[in-house]
Amino acid sequence: MLQVAQIRANKEAYIKALAKRNFKAEALFEEVLQLDETRRTTQTELDETLAESNRLSKEIGLLFKSGEHQKANKVKEQTGNLKETSRELTEKLQEVSNALNEILYTIPNVPHDSVPAGVTEDDNVEIFKEGEIPTLEKDALPHWELAKKYDIIDFELGNKITGAGFPVYKGKGARLQRALITYFLDKNTAAGYTEYQVPLAVNAESGFGTGQLPDKEGQMYHMEEDDLYLIPTSEVPLTNMFRGDLLEANQLPIACTAFTPCFRREAGSYGAHVRGLNRLHQFDKVELVNLVKPEDSYATLDAMTAHIQEILRELKLPYRILRLCGGDLGFTSALTYDFELFSAGQDRWLEISSVSNFETFQANRLKVRYKNDQGKKELIHTLNGSSLALPRVIAGILENYQTPNGIKIPEVLVPYTGFDMID
């Protein structure tokens, strides 16, 4: 959530930057500033009323002590009126603050200067590409056919148990999934991330804290009786562990990683782009979350990007990195790099990771701050990235490593799987 002080100080620059998202901010900013002026005026009136009430209360005590009961009773009438005024001002302040927050919740983060303008994913900018795209046999198959051929992922069984988008991994498919999870976590902890196991359900306050609510409310599975949401990613519980905290400077940076299943309701669509593992309602993912000082956040973003590159190099999967344009940028992000791997069986690029810097946007919602070197309380910067989402990594391995004799296992994973071929 943007800070009102930032909007006031950078109004024109923010309007121009948000235009990269095709978001018209001018009218909303005017409303925000008007509501904030009303809020500040009301707060001043309330403070003055409470101060006057306290002053008169002391005066009443002195008047009673001196025997001036009639005068004291008259002053008591004044304090009664002041209490009613303070009650009305408190209610007004709450209403104005709520109205202000409701508007702020609808305004996305301001894009970083390097974010290109654009409307759709077609306007994203490729900034790096690496790895050799394999040349497959003419009868090469997409991963959903390979999964059926080698009996390692059963989409129909998942549909029977739950519905579309909930596959069942079996045999070497399940072992490959487990191997990737362990490999990713080992890479992350070796890089200095602390591993956590976190809840798979969060309360509404957590959803608001990291920006999934209200922006993506329709995409989250909601348990109405308990008012809990299944997590779309472990970013939500990991970041909310620090909600409301005041950290010391020497506690930063904080680097967290976790493996969890993730749950996302998606609008129904059809075609090869959503077949098999390409889009699921439940999937496994290993996540990275960083909490850092503001001056360190973009160096941290670069380090996270390099870390994911190292993993893809070890898996020997061809990949590219895109800088997302304003129109494709997530609601909470200031800058996002998408990683895509090339799916040889589908002859297309598949997104497998997003690495984002949220700057103070989440921290302002979460009210997580630290004491800087001058002892002043300051909002931290938060970042997150997938390291990695498993379904499309598995799809890429199945398709890119397929041979006439079976599917080879990337060399780095063999110690984790205990086998080097799916056949």
Helices within 271-338 (DSSP H only): 297-315
Residue 118 contacts by C-beta under 8 Å, 6 or more apart in sequence? 20, 124, 325, 326, 327, 328
- Global confidence as pTM: 0.91
For residue 228, what is the enclosing H or E element?
strand 228-230
Asked if 172 and 152 count as a contact pair (C-beta separation under 8 A), the reply is yes
CATH 3.30.70.420, applies to 121-422 = no
Compute the distance between CA of residue 356 and CA of residue 364 in angstroms, rounded to an integer: 16
Q: Which residues in the chain come in under a pLDDT of 70?
A: 267-273
Sequence ranges of the domains in the chain? 4-104, 121-422
Summarised one tens digit per residue, pLDDT across range 368-392 is: 999 998 899 999 999 999 999 999 9
Model confidence over 330-360: pLDDT tens digits? 999 999 999 999 999 899 999 999 999 999 9
Tokens representing residue 287 in the block:
């996540």
Domain 4-104, architecture per CATH: Orthogonal Bundle (1.10)
Q: Which two tokens stand for residue 221?
A: 């599975």
The whole-angstrom separation of Cα 150 and Cα 350 is: 22
* Residue 251, pLDDT score: 96
